[in-house]
């Protein structure tokens, strides 16, 4: 009996394999870190061979350690760091260059020029994305321009390209299937999210030949099987999905207006906007939601660059805390921040401010300021930044949000979640299991292979802890005003 679904979660800092049962419960997990390469200032790379071998080893490990074999697995789903690209040889599957990671700024100048041209509006109207080096297109172009003969080899059909999901799929299927899903495609800046096809104007603009790009399918789809040589027997691959959309799906945000925020290194706020691709006037981007149908829902997305990372900074650079969890204890030991505001604009500000040159600051320091105040202000800053993105969404949609689903490492912090509820004036709902990224891919794969009969049949595996707003409105307004002032100073430097 095939009693389990497997989810391969290939993230920016690690690769994990998770095994779920029919109730959608996470039973087993195996994880491996991946090495980060910084070959030049602002450049970030991964070794695609390490990504592939890591993926194979975590799958083997999670099966072997728990007495499972591939025949116990109904299907697997792959969820992945988005936007990161790989270019490889069709005949061998060997990459011709390292993976250029989403964080990498090497193409910033090129994208800045496009941003200041008439192309910016064209790109937004076709892809829903802001002109930024973050997305895949300029990264593929860079590899083709940089690696000797790459462009010519691409034209001859000797090379293939794609996001990490498509590279893994190609290698896992023994070089048989070159495909991706629409959530990943929607983050490349080459895919038209309205016509649902690679866009000829954009592939020409970025000089990326269409013949090297993968075929685009729904996130939940029967993509093929793993090569027998890898795990002894075949495993069906029934989902590919970008990590944030996977978390949205795993949080069961299946209806218009459902929204989730992931508190990881950064924060990623995604709202399901149904069949409407919302045009943002406030710097949010529009992408495609995960699904099993040919025409998926749209999502509106805003990201905060420095979320949980500010806690890491307090721990590793400032040495104000020794563990991330200690931040909660310190924050609770004072009644408020004592007038201190902390804007962690370490790499500029994202949505809705979009100021690349802004840098961090701490305001309102007095002789009475203690480390507890600074730590508390840092946690509050995470919540204020999420407020800013959510508020921009509400204004784009002309609707109020009354409940936010949360996940990610920093969502474990009860102080932060309560403060988030207070400042948003909305309920914050935290599931007992916060591995929602892996869960989304497992749900999708399970739906395709019939493991789950329908979305409605997937058991609600866990309860939620609900944080309800409790601070008086006048106090909330006063705190928000202080934050706005601090943001204004950050920008006016």
Positions that interact with ligand ADP (CB under 6 A): 11, 13, 264-265, 308-309, 311-312, 324-325, 327-328, 408-410, 412-413
Instruction: Using the minimum distance from each CB to ligand ADP, give the nearer residue, 98 or 265.
Output: 265
Instruction: Using the minimum distance from each CB to ligand ADP, give the nearer residue, 213 or 417.
Output: 417
C-alpha to C-alpha distance for 410 and 259, rounded to whole angstroms:
17
Instruction: Using the minimum distance from each CB to ligand ADP, give the nearer residue, 313 or 464.
Output: 313
Whether the CB-CB separation of 353 and 487 falls below 8 Å is answered with yes
Q: Which residue is nearest to ligand ADP (CB)?
A: 409
C-alpha to C-alpha distance for 277 and 249, rounded to whole angstroms:
18
Main-chain phi, psi angles of 357, to 5 degrees: -95, -5
Whether the CB-CB separation of 107 and 36 falls below 8 Å is answered with no
Instruction: Using the minimum distance from each CB to ligand ADP, give the nearer residue, 111 or 247.
Output: 247
Q: Minimum distance between the CB of residue 414 and ligand ADP, rounded to whole angstroms?
A: 9
Q: Where are the beta strands (DSSP E) in 3-133?
A: 4-10, 14-20, 26-33, 45-46, 73-80, 85-89, 99-100
DSSP letter for each residue of 313-329: HHHHTS-S-SSTTHHHH
Instruction: Using the minimum distance from each CB to ligand ADP, give the nearer residue, 183 or 226.
Output: 183
Q: Minimum distance between the CB of residue 434 and ligand ADP, rounded to whole angstroms?
A: 8
Q: Minimum distance between the CB of residue 324 and ligand ADP, rounded to whole angstroms?
A: 4
Q: Minimum distance between the CB of residue 264 and ligand ADP, rounded to whole angstroms?
A: 3
Nearest to 137 by CA among 100, 177, 180, 181: 100
Q: Minimum distance between the CB of residue 436 and ligand ADP, rounded to whole angstroms?
A: 10
Instruction: Using the minimum distance from each CB to ligand ADP, give the nearer residue, 291 or 344.
Output: 344
Helix 414-424 vs helix 371-397: crossing angle, to nearest 10: 40
Element (H, E) at 103: none
Q: Minimum distance between the CB of residue 211 and ligand ADP, rounded to whole angstroms?
A: 34
CA 115 to chain centre: 23
**DSSP character at residue 224:** E
Q: Minimum distance between the CB of residue 443 and ligand ADP, rounded to whole angstroms?
A: 19
C-alpha to C-alpha distance for 459 and 289, rounded to whole angstroms:
21
C-alpha to C-alpha distance for 313 and 308, rounded to whole angstroms:
9
> CA geometry: angle at 429 spanning 423 and 434, to 5°?
120
Residues 6+ apart with CB under 8 A from 178: 160, 162, 166, 169, 170, 214, 215
Q: Minimum distance between the CB of residue 262 and ligand ADP, rounded to whole angstroms?
A: 7
User: β-pairing, 26-33 with 45-46?
Assistant: unpaired
Whether the CB-CB separation of 291 and 436 falls below 8 Å is answered with no
Instruction: Using the minimum distance from each CB to ligand ADP, give the nearer residue, 34 or 87.
Output: 34
Instruction: Using the minimum distance from each CB to ligand ADP, give the nearer residue, 16 or 178.
Output: 16
Instruction: Using the minimum distance from each CB to ligand ADP, give the nearer residue, 99 or 309.
Output: 309
Q: Minimum distance between the CB of residue 280 and ligand ADP, rounded to whole angstroms?
A: 24
Whether the CB-CB separation of 115 and 135 falls below 8 Å is answered with no
Q: Minimum distance between the CB of residue 379 and ligand ADP, rounded to whole angstroms?
A: 7
Instruction: Using the minimum distance from each CB to ligand ADP, give the nearer residue, 308 or 446.
Output: 308
């Amino acid at each position: 009996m095939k009693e389990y679904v497997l989810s391969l979660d290939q993230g920016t800092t690690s690769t994990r394999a998770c095994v779920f049962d029919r109730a959608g419960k996470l039973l087993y997990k195996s994880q491996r870190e991946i090495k980060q390469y910084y070959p030049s200032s602002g450049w970030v790379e991964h070794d695609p061979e390490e990504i592939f071998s890591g993926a194979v080893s975590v799958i083997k490990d999670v099966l072997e350690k728990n007495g499972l074999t591939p025949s116990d697995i109904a299907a697997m789903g792959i969820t992945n760091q988005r936007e990161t690209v790989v270019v490889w040889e069709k005949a061998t599957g060997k990459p011709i260059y390292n993976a250029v990671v989403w964080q990498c700024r090497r193409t910033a100048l090129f994208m800045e020029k496009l941003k200041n041209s008439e192309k910016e509006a064209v790109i937004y109207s076709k892809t829903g994305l802001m002109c930024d080096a973050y997305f895949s297109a300029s990264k593929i172009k860079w590899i083709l321009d940089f690696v000797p003969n790459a462009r010519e080899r691409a034209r001859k059909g000797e090379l293939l390209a794609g996001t990490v999901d498509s590279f893994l799929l190609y290698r896992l299927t023994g070089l048989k299937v070159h495909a991706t899903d629409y959530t990943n495609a929607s983050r490349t800046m080459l895919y038209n999210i309205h016509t649902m096809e690679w866009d000829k104007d954009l592939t020409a603009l970025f000089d990326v030949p269409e013949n090297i790009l993968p075929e685009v399918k729904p996130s939940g789809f029967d993509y093929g099987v793993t090569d027998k040589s890898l795990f002894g027997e075949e495993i069906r691959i029934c989902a590919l999905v970008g990590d944030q959309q996977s978390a949205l799906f795993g949080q069961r945000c299946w209806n218009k207006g459902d929204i989730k925020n992931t508190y990881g290194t950064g924060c990623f706020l995604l709202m399901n906007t149904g069949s409407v691709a919302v045009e943002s006037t406030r710097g949010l981007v529009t992408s495609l939601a995960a699904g099993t149908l040919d025409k998926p829902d749209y999502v509106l997305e805003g990201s905060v660059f420095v979320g949980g990372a500010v806690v890491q900074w307090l721990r590793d650079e400032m040495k104000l805390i020794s563990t991330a969890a200690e931040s909660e204890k310190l924050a609770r030991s004072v009644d408020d921040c004592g007038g201190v505001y902390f804007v962690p604009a370490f790499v500029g500000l994202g949505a809705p401010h979009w100021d690349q040159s802004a840098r961090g600051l701490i305001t309102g320091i007095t002789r009475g300021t203690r480390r507890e105040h600074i730590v508390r202000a840092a946690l509050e800053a995470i919540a204020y930044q999420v407020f800013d993105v959510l508020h921009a969404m509400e204004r784009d949609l002309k609707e109020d949000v009354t409940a936010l689903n949360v996940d990610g490492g920093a969502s474990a912090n009860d102080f932060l979640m309560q403060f988030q509820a207070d400042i948003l004036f909305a309920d914050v709902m935290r599931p007992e299991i916060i591995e929602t990224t892996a869960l989304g891919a497992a749900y999708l794969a399970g739906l395709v292979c019939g493991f789950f009969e329908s979305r409605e049949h997937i058991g609600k595996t866990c309860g939620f802890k609900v944080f309800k707003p409790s601070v008086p409105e006048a106090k909330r307004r006063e705190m928000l005003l202080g934050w706005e002032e601090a943001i204004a100073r950050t920008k006016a430097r």
